[in-house]
Structure 1
Amino acid sequence: MIRNSQQLASFLMLFCLLIFIQSIVNYANAKIISSVKPIGFIAEAIASGVSDTDILLPDGASPHTYYLKPSDLAKLKAAVLVIWVGEDMEAFMPTILKNIDKQKQIELMTIPEIKGLLRTSHEDEDNHSHDESIQDHHQHGEYDEHIWLSPKIAKIIAQSIHDRLITLYPDKSALIDQNLREFNIKLAETEQNIAKKLITVQNRGYFVFHDAYGYFETQFGLKKLGSFTINPAVQPGVQKVYAIQQELKEHKAVCVFREPQFSPAVIEKLVDGTDVRIGELNPLGTGIVLSKDSYSQFLLKLTQQLLDCLDKN
């Protein structure tokens, strides 16, 4: 009986020790988790030297269609802070976040200062009277949630992350303040740089296959003519190809921008018989390494992708 009691006590002590060790490991692994990479770029700039950061979605994944893995769930549960856009962008998040403390998450679409700057999903449809069968209707809600493509909104996101980190790490407030100042200075320089670079192509019209760039286009005065709905996995039919070719010719488009998921053969088929050039845009920062300056690098890379196609004579 005594031996059994000693064994039970030893087992309980070992069990408690394992729980304690696991809690330490979880704490050590606790990071600031951002749903998509460009939001993660902003978080890294503000949290640099304060907390580790990580990004939920891997390169190449779409926030519209992503399915969480068990490792993702573990990341979210262990996170010190989760930053995401909104339920129309990341439909998989609300159910998971119900079980996570509200103080440990920031839903960007609910921030009042951001709400005042949102574009409605149908703004481009109001500006362009394109054929219903061609026009892009893939938007998932009332507002355009690709908010990371607005430098103005990025500044608000940075401030919101700063404010939350001050409450989480009050002993590191000076560093968090400094990170925010440096981010804002770098962002202002980047905006000026981009405005100068893009001024030469503001009158060159183009089409896109993913209507994600409205905030960026509006801020820098670009001339997007419209967008087309094409399923990357399905070859467009003859009528669709002809309709797109007519649109490109009618509106004197200089470029059509695809994204990495589109096969070159499909796009070449669509521009065949026109003078339209093919460019590639990436709204999710694929290939950019997480660093303090990665948000500016992301905007500059997007700018260069636009110039590579639009600025050719």
Structure 2
Amino acid sequence: MFKYNFIKKIILFLFIIPLPISLVQAKVITSVKPLGFITAAIANGVTDTEILLPDGASPHTYSLKPSDLAKIKSADLIIWIGDDMEVFLPSFLKSIEKTKQLELTDNPNIVALLRAGHSNEEDSDVHAHSSHEHHHGQFDMHIWLSPKIAEIAAQIIHDKLAIIYPDKLDLLDQNLNKFINKLKETEQIIAKKLNNVQNRGYFVFHDGYGYFETEFNLNHLGSFTINPAIQPGVKKIYEIQRELSHKNAVCLFREPQFSPAIINKLVDGTNINVGEIDPLGMDIELSEDAYCKFLLKITQQFLSCLE
């Protein structure tokens, strides 16, 4: 009798006591945070949005954890960019129903706007790439940095959510219209802010800002590829300094993985400003205005170094 009552209490506990918030799964999951910004605006009041990659993780090198797999399996929809960006996802998504996946670069309207990207050079040499060099057959997959593509992505996400939640169509329509209007307004603000620095040249280490640079006519002079784990030698430092000087750059945008010591060596003896851009919006919270806040923050990061 005691054993029966004990088991009965356990069953009641499991079914009556609510699960902790952390165990409740989101209905819609995006691979990277900026996609979450767009999705959260469209899904506002319809369903929750959750981000797969934690802050600081790279979509190129991330490894899925068991909790990630469980999260994806229980979601109504997983939104991602494509094979060339989230290299960790395709093999796993083979086991997920196609109706629960939204690969944005599968859409012809987005494909039509993809720009050529640069090849990744994984060695310790210095490579200076002209901003006009293209490697045939490769595309820049940092599509969230294009307001034009973001607008198309918002429409695609809206249409997909309308199929999943047909009773929420009116709210989805309202959210989409609000997002597009806010985005247009933000683009005008950004264009005015960046107007005075369009002639100021700069170099980057990560050539991932091309959509934003093209849309707002920024003067990207090129990019350097060096191994962040290896201190560049005197010859390499000289080559970079010469390139910066030759092109009359006013700014060098660093990446978080480079130590300050490396960057200081590269700009030592020059008048080059050092800036940093966060292409993933790490400190921005999900909200209906998050994507526009993200674009405005990147704008300010460009201005802080170029002005």
What TM-score comes out, normalization by structure 2 length? 0.88
Determine whether 1:183 maps to 2:179.
yes
**Which residue in the other structure is 1:154 paired with?**
150
**Which residue in the other structure is 1:265 paired with?**
261
1: distance between equivalents of 2:215 and 2:26? Answer: 36
Deviation, structure 1 residue 140: 12
Give the letter for the 1:41 counterpart. Answer: F
Determine whether 1:106 maps to 2:102.
yes
Deviation, structure 1 residue 263: 1.6
**Which residue in the other structure is 1:129 paired with?**
none
**Which residue in the other structure is 1:134 paired with?**
127
Give the letter for the 1:38 counterpart. Answer: P
2: distance between equivalents of 1:77 and 1:113? Answer: 28
Q: 1:141 to 1:94 in 2, by over 3 A?
A: farther
Q: Confirm or deny: 8 A CA contact 2:26 2:50 kept in the other structure.
A: no
Map of 1:40-59 to 2, 5 A cutoff?
A: 40-59=36-55
Give the letter for the 1:298 counterpart. Answer: F
Q: Confirm or deny: 8 A CA contact 1:88 1:141 kept in the other structure.
A: no
Map of 1:114-263 to 2, 5 A cutoff?
A: 114-122=110-118, 133-135=126-128, 142-263=138-259
**Which residue in the other structure is 2:62 paired with?**
66
**Which residue in the other structure is 1:77 paired with?**
73
Determine whether 1:288 maps to 2:284.
yes
**Which residue in the other structure is 2:122 paired with?**
none
Deviation, structure 1 residue 121: 1.4
Q: 1:52 to 1:279 in 2, by over 3 A?
A: same
**Which residue in the other structure is 1:3 paired with?**
none
| RMSD of aligned alpha carbons | 2.7
Deviation, structure 1 residue 133: 4.5
Structure 2: gaps (5+ residues): 120-124
1: distance between equivalents of 2:208 and 2:25? Answer: 33
**Which residue in the other structure is 2:303 paired with?**
307
Q: 1:169 to 1:133 in 2, by over 3 A?
A: same
Structure 1: gaps (5+ residues): 1-6, 124-131
Q: Confirm or deny: 8 A CA contact 1:149 1:213 kept in the other structure.
A: yes
Deviation, structure 1 residue 31: 1.9
Deviation, structure 1 residue 237: 1.8
- How many aligned positions are there? 290
Give the letter for the 1:134 counterpart. Answer: H
What TM-score comes out, normalization by structure 1 length? 0.86
1: distance between equivalents of 2:277 and 2:240? Answer: 19
Question: How far does the alpha carbon of each residue in 1:106-146 deviate from its partner, in whole angstroms, 9 at most, with x for none?
Answer: 111111100000001149xxxxxxxx941359x99710000
Q: Secondary structure at the match of 1:242?
A: helix
**Which residue in the other structure is 1:274 paired with?**
270
